Amino acid sequence: MRQIFFDTETTGLAAEGGDRIIEIGCVEMINRQLTGNNLHLYINPQRASHEDALRVHGLTEAFLSDKPLFAEIAEQLLEFLAGAELVIHNAPFDIGFVNAELRRLNKPPITDIVGSVRDTLLMARDLFPGKANSLDALCRRLEVDNSNRKLHGALLDAELLAEVYIRLTRGQDSLVMDDAGDSNSPSHETKLAAVDLSRFELPVIAANEEELQAHEKVLAELDKASGGKRIWQ
């Protein structure tokens, strides 16, 4: 399977508000092996980056002024991504920016070009609920060396994401483990005695007042962060 670990840097956070892509990093993996066939592009956005964004990526107008426009690299990018599974951390952000650029060129959305999109942020939230799941947090948790990440860079972040993904999915090549270690030995079934679960009485521990207040505080913060779009109470 061909996978592309994909990341962008942008002039700001609002693709629909006119912010543009300024850097793209793509790292190719085939059958869980990095190939070294990567794609790294800088792009002239024809606008300045917001101050907050500039502090994150450090790519100035002067540096980007002689770089190609997105229109000039679009075909190269689409050809590289065609048919692959895109692996992205917080996929809606990057997909939204790429699609905004493609719409300006009257091209179809990126999901019509690639095979599929996998969001590692959603994967991490399933594996580590309630914990910080930024790329930096996952690097620390999964022991991926990100000591060179002083500023965000699309290619470096895509490379880190590939290492994080391998650790997130470690052991998923096979869900069956052969303790004997002999692939030529005949298969056998292990029969386990049935357990009557009805004889167990499970305790129900109710939250105390302090815990309920902490829970309400978290829900209020989620509601605020989502712009009032929280769908549960």
Structure tokens at 186: 């005949």
Q: Are 135 and 55 in contact (CB under 8 A)?
A: no
- Sign of the Cα torsion 144, 145, 149, 150 reads positive
Closest CA to 6 of 159, 123, 108, 140: 159
d(CA 210, CA 212): 5
The position carrying tokens 């024809």 is: 46
Q: Which is the catalytic residue, given 40, 152, 188, 215?
A: 152
Whether 152 is catalytic is: yes
- In which element (H, E) is residue 213 found? helix 209-225
Q: Is 90 left (phi over 0), alpha (psi -120 to 50) or beta?
A: left
Cα within 13 Å of Cα(9), Cβ side: 29
Q: Which residues are catalytic?
A: 152
